[in-house]
Amino acid sequence: MPSLLSATNAASETQNDSTSSIHETQSSLARPIETTSTVLEDGDVDVLLENQTAPLIPNYNETDAISVPAEHPPDVDGEDAMSRKGTLSSARLNILSTMVGGGSLSVPLAFHQAGNAFLGPLLLILIAFLVKQSIHLLVNAAILSHPQDDKPDKRKLKGNKSFESVTSHAFGTNAQKFTMALLSTICFLTIVGYAVLLRDMLLPLSDMIFGIGSEDGASTGPTFHHNITMLVVIFFVTPLCTLRDLTPLEKVGAVSMLSIFTVACCITYRSVQCNFSSSYDDKRLMEWYDYMNYIPETKQGFGVAFHALLNSLPILLSVFMCHFNVLPVHNELAEPTPKRVKALFSSSIWGACIFYVFVGFSGSMYGNCTPDGVVEGNVLLSFDEDDVLLMVGKICLSLTITAAFPILVVPCRDVILRALAKNTETEDSYDRGEVQENGHNANINNLAEPLLDESNTAPAIGDSENAFQRRLISVIIFWSGAAIACCVESIDIVWDILGGSLSLIMGFILPSASYIVISKLCEEDQHGDLEDCEGEENLYAGNGLYEESISKPGREFASFLVFLFIPMMMFLTANAIFNLA
């Protein structure tokens, strides 16, 4: 924070001349802060905040800026680097690009399994509503545990909220470690899933180069040649995964959204042809209104129908998971008032929901022109390999998946680096360079199009050693995921594991449980020591977000989410294990 430190140094140099003005200003503040300054030999100032109870957020004396003489102006560049720059449009694109990706290609299958004309869309809308509420619970829990960020006089500066710090405030350091492990696992499994998708997109290229993968002319699973083609692409994209941060890829989010929309338009066009064009009369199984199903098919029994419903839920749940990027976006959003924050996440969630309904219904209806009457887990595999229009869609999606690998590898790597930094007692060196846990430069906060300006990152101590460690861990993560992908036959397996257990913990259980604990602590201690809420009672004076974030109905709804999704997680996890067996 160059500007704040400059103001502190300047204030200490004129301390004798402005003592009275400082004390007058301090007495008028809602939360007076007593400071003790010790001038070092090199002229720097070590400011000790005696009353500061929030270790994650440096709380500098609010009177320092008043004492800055004219000959020592504030560091404008530093202030600009630490200011919130995120607009609603850029933040919305960030959230959407986090949610909408390769997983949307599996929504048509989920619609077919649940009922593409009624139950599938209904479940999707219901899940979108629950995701929106869980995001609000997560944001409110973060506000309660980091009240300094959202005080009116602090809202222009970047926030310091992170998912792991919220769970740490609620349940302790072990919960923080668990959250970091959970996040890295989700990123790693997503790498595996995207590698499987990439191999599927490259099937025509593999068959053109090596020939058909099996003797009977149809591939029954991943072949050596298919995996080799995928690994060649992995090899060429590996250098991007060793980047120090994601700033060079900041435009990937917009390109990804454009590519996915292009693929959706191609799928819809072919689906309309399938059900209405005379050129598909020889392929069409029945009339379109007869093909639509409202609930899971019960012809083979209710047990089979229930199993199909369970298979659809992990897909419908996982496509909305963006919680790991919610707080980084909130940290960067300019003027994060409750109205703007609600508008941001509501528009993002419902926009994605409309897109999924569009892709899910149109894609599932193409099953009317497939031999077995159902689309694949990756709907693009349901079309002919020589379909020129869908070839364009596959190329777009291949480029999107390739560019998404660094966005998944870098956060996973940085979680490991932070853990190693703590275990080897070198956390301070990483805080100055490679990895910051406070959220400003942490690449874990950049899972999609980064809003963070990392140009102010200071050089790390032992940079060459850290660079080697960073690259080595990146390569291990990336190629381990690719190796596992070579053994995975279908993308459905990955989504079963992600959506059936890990996504439920990250998206619903942890945010809801954290909000219940933190809000109770803050409410009980409003007139006492708010150590659990990072400050004293007068810290919240004038902070409307604090009062709004604590509500009994909010805790009741959070309890409902916990009791709903813990049993669901058990059912879906058991179903995923059954599918693997």
Q: What is the pLDDT of residue 465?
A: 61
Q: What is the pLDDT of residue 114?
A: 95
For the segment 28-36, the average pLDDT, to the nearest whole number, is: 42
Banded model confidence at residue 549, pLDDT cuts 50, 70, 90: low
Distance CA(554)–CA(412), nearest Å, equals: 32
How far CA 151 is from CA of 191, 419, 440, 543, 546, in Å, comes to 38, 31, 18, 5, 9
Distance CA(482)–CA(469), nearest Å, equals: 20
Whole-prediction pTM: 0.75
The tokens describing 461, both together, are 């101590």
pLDDT, tens digit, 9 for 90 and up, residues 246-304:
766 767 777 888 889 999 999 999 999 999 999 999 999 999 999 999 999 888 888 89
pLDDT, tens digit, 9 for 90 and up, residues 161-189:
889 889 999 999 899 889 989 989 998 99
pLDDT, tens digit, 9 for 90 and up, residues 94-133:
898 888 888 899 999 999 999 999 999 999 999 999 999 9
Q: What is the pLDDT of residue 4?
A: 41
Q: What is the pLDDT of residue 154?
A: 66
pLDDT of 455 higher than 90: no
Q: Quickly tell me which residue has 């504030």 as its tokens.
A: 74
Banded model confidence at residue 475, pLDDT cuts 50, 70, 90: very high
Secondary structure (3-state) at 221? coil
- Cα torsion at 328, 331, 333, 338 (round to 10°)? 110
Cβ atoms < 10 Å from Cβ of 11: 25
For the segment 548-560, the average pLDDT, to the nearest whole number, is: 80
pLDDT of 400 higher than 90: no
For the segment 568-574, the average pLDDT, to the nearest whole number, is: 93
CB 184 within 8 Å of CB 178 = no
Domains and CATH numbers, the chain: 2-15+33-78 (no CATH), 88-214+252-453+475-515+555-580 (1.20.1740)
* Burial of 215 (C-beta count, 10 Å sphere; 0-12/13-18/19+): exposed
The tokens describing 22, both together, are 């400082």
Most confidently predicted of 205-219, 434-448, 532-546? 205-219
| Greatest distance between any 2 Cα atoms in the chain | 92
DSSP 448: S
Out of 107-121, 440-454, 483-497, 565-579, least confident range: 440-454
Q: What is the pLDDT of residue 345?
A: 95
Distance CA(526)–CA(125), nearest Å, equals: 37
